[in-house]
Amino acid sequence: MVSPPLVKTMSKVHLSTSEAKKEHKPPSQEDQDVTAEPKCKRRRSMELESCSWNILPVLSDEESREIAVLQAYAAPVLSKKETSRLVREVSTLYPLEGLQHLKRVRACRDRDSPYPLEMLLCLTLGKEEGRVPSLSELLPEEKVNCFGLGQPFLVLIPSCPPLTRPQFQEASAYWPTSFHENKQVTEALTGQLFSREEKARMQRYMEQAIEVAHQGAEKGNEAVGAVLVNPATEEVLAVGHDCRKISNPLLHGTMVCIDLVARAQGGGAYNFDSYPLCSFAASVKEAPGAGVTDCFDDASSSSILPYICTGFDLYITREPCIMCAMALVHSRIQRVFYGAPSPDGALGSRYKIHTQKDLNHHFQVFRGILEEQCQQLREKSQ
């Protein structure tokens, strides 16, 4: 596999489906491309469009976890007009370092309470356990004039800022927090990120991956299939099945597809002559990358190349392993869609390589397209 050197700059892909919405250009070389979908299959896919599968984003651990809580003291605000002074004085004494996501004051939750507001005072850390101190113990009078505050009580507060809407809702049930919402993550979590047309297209790509997995398995290979797509043109660039059992232990479905695209771009490390089902579209040669070009350090050099999979999407029946996940990082894939999870998978199950902050490329990962059929393929291989 020919891989250009890593660039030093951060290459971060943001959630976006706009690329996938560009005008459809039908492939001109359909007659000779084994990667082109048969027309009858397309019709069948459209009929299957009433999806029986759900597509879910594979988010980082920080975005997926339950909200952790800390214990703190709060007190009712007896005199509303004292609120801003009290906030100022209490915040100076107890600045809530590292907890800037918390609102200092909340509306009282007890509707029968005569007091409309409650104020967060400080964490219980270091204070005597099981006993709620008095106001004067918590707020020395030389620091805070307690006029306008009622008796302290215990509360649970979220210890980290919420990163997703479900986390925000969970956190708010404890104590109000600020929340900088990523609308596309919210849409992805509620299944609204992709249109009906996009989902129908995704299903067709996964059907093609399943088909090639079956064909590869008939020849004694592991039942894993993969399809590499340019979402900007909706073209299938490469189709491959797992070849590890027969030919080379490194030739997992993902590695096959990346190498096929590298091959189409004039590189590649492996020979697929004995695997006619593993093929690339002739058009890859004309349009390497999807318009984004990362350059070598020497800008005057004529060897300006895109990374192998810049702007491309991978559809694969099984969650990639750690080797394949790293190959996807190095080749600068844009998005990965996998059908069934794998216990050793590196994009959600065992690791989440795509969310590793230390790596200089990140990509989006979604799971669940035709999960049941992909799961059956897994069982077939066991």
Q: Quick one: angle between helices 253-264 and 322-330, nearest 10?
A: 20
Q: How far is the CB of 305 from Zn ion (least distance, A)?
A: 25
The binding site for Zn ion (CB under 5 A) comprises 252, 321, 324
Which is closer to Zn ion, CB of 201 or CB of 252?
252
DSSP 347: B
Which CB, 200 or 324, lies closer to Zn ion?
324
369 contacts 202 by C-beta, under 8 angstroms: yes
One DSSP character per residue, 177-207 reads: B-----HHHHHHHTT-SS-HHHHHHHHHHHH
Q: How far apart are CA 264 and CA 324, in angstroms?
A: 19
Q: Residue 13 Cβ, how far from Zn ion at the closest point, in Å?
A: 21
Give me the least distance between CB of 221 and Zn ion, in Å please: 13
SS3 for 284-312 is HCCCCCCCCCCCCCCCCCCCCCCCCCCCC
Question: Shortest distance, CB of residue 259 to Zn ion, whole angstroms?
Answer: 13
Is the Cβ of residue 193 or residue 209 nearer to Zn ion in the bound state?
A: 209
As measured in angstroms, the least distance from the Cβ of 207 to Zn ion is 21
Closer residue to Zn ion (CB): 33 or 222: 222
What end-to-end distance do the CA atoms of the chain give, in Å? Answer: 29
Q: Closest CB to Zn ion among 311 and 345?
A: 345
User: What letter does residue 102 receive in the DSSP assignment?
Assistant: B
Kindly state the smallest distance separating residue 251's Cβ from Zn ion, in Å: 9
Q: Give the residue with the Cβ less far from Zn ion, 284 or 324.
A: 324
CB neighbour burial string for 267-292, b if at least 16 within 10 angstroms, e if fewer: ebebebeebebbbbbebbeebbbbee
For residues 317 and 338, give the distance between their C-alpha atoms in angstroms, rounded to a whole number: 5
- Residue number, 99 or 328, with CB nearest to Zn ion: 328
Instruction: Report the nearest approach of Zn ion to the CB of residue 382 (Å).
Output: 16
Contacts of 145 (CB under 8 A, 6+ apart): 85, 89
